[in-house]
């Protein structure tokens, strides 16, 4: 005898007398569920990206000499700039990561993360293209390594994936569990009162 329509679709059919509205209405309900899931997905990627940046920065802080070696190994900066970049980068990474984890200035933090990831991609790509044998130093250590110990393809893939996450988060920063602005759904509830 056919399939039995969803309860809400059946009620709509009774109310309007139009059986064609029911299937679209059911699809619309699925869309509403998806819209409710997006802030939770944004929360997950925000926490992931923030966690990566905090860990990357925190692992560089205890060994500043390794951070200097890692920056120097890229052979991109003049020597007087190497120490300030090596010391400043972990602080910037931790600040961006904490902003993302706490949910404050999410769009700004995501854009800053995207800029850093582009810089990282250019640096790793440049080292790879020039045939340098270095560890990226992304999570501490870094510097010269033996032939065959480089992991450029994985580093590029990881940073490109994180860049997509950062850009997506910059485009849609609204998420749950934030200390920052009110979520749009919460704003609608408040304005309806």
Please report the pLDDT score of residue 26 as a whole number.
47
Asked if 162 contacts 144 with a C-beta cutoff of 8 angstroms, the reply is: no
Residue with tokens 């020597």: 79
* Strands 134-135 and 143-144, bridge-based pairing: antiparallel
Residue with tokens 């890229």: 74
* 147 φ/ψ angles, rounded to the nearest 5 degrees: -60, 135
Please report the pLDDT score of residue 189 as a whole number.
45
Secondary structure of residue 70 in the 3-state scheme? helix
Please report the pLDDT score of residue 180 as a whole number.
67
Which residues of the chain have a pLDDT value below 70?
1-32, 34, 177, 180-193
Hey, where are the domains in the chain? 39-176
Continuous segment of H or E residues that includes residue 160: helix 152-171
**Residues forming a β-bridge with 138:** 140
Please report the pLDDT score of residue 144 as a whole number.
84
Please report the pLDDT score of residue 2 as a whole number.
52
Does the model's pTM come out above 0.85? no
Cα torsion angle, 160, 107, 77, 72, sign: negative
Q: Which is nearest to 130 in space by CA: 83, 187, 73? A: 73
pLDDT tens-digit profile of 164-174? 999 999 888 77
Residue with tokens 């995207």: 114
Rounded to an integer, what distance in angstroms lies between the CA atom of residue 113 and that of residue 170? 9
Please report the pLDDT score of residue 20 as a whole number.
52
């Amino acid at each position: 005898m056919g399939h039995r329509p969803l309860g809400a679709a059946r009620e709509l059919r009774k109310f309007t007398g139009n059986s064609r509205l029911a299937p679209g209405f059911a699809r619309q309900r699925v869309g509403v569920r998806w819209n409710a899931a997006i802030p939770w997905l944004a929360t997950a990627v925000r926490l992931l990206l923030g966690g990566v940046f905090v860990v990357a920065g925190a692992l560089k802080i205890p060994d500043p000499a390794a951070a200097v070696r890692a920056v120097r190994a890229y052979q991109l900066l003049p020597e007087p700039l190497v120490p300030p970049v090596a010391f400043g980068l972990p602080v910037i990474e931790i600040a961006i990561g904490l902003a993302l984890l706490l949910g404050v200035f999410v769009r700004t933090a995501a854009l800053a993360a995207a800029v850093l990831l582009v810089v990282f991609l250019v640096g790793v790509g440049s080292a790879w293209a020039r045939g340098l044998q270095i560890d990226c130093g992304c999570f501490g250590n870094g510097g010269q390594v033996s032939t065959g110990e480089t992991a450029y393809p994985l580093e590029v893939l990881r940073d490109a994936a994180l860049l997509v996450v950062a850009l997506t988060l910059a485009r849609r920063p609204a998420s749950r569990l934030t200390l920052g602005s009110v979520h749009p759904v919460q704003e609608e509830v408040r304005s309806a009162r």
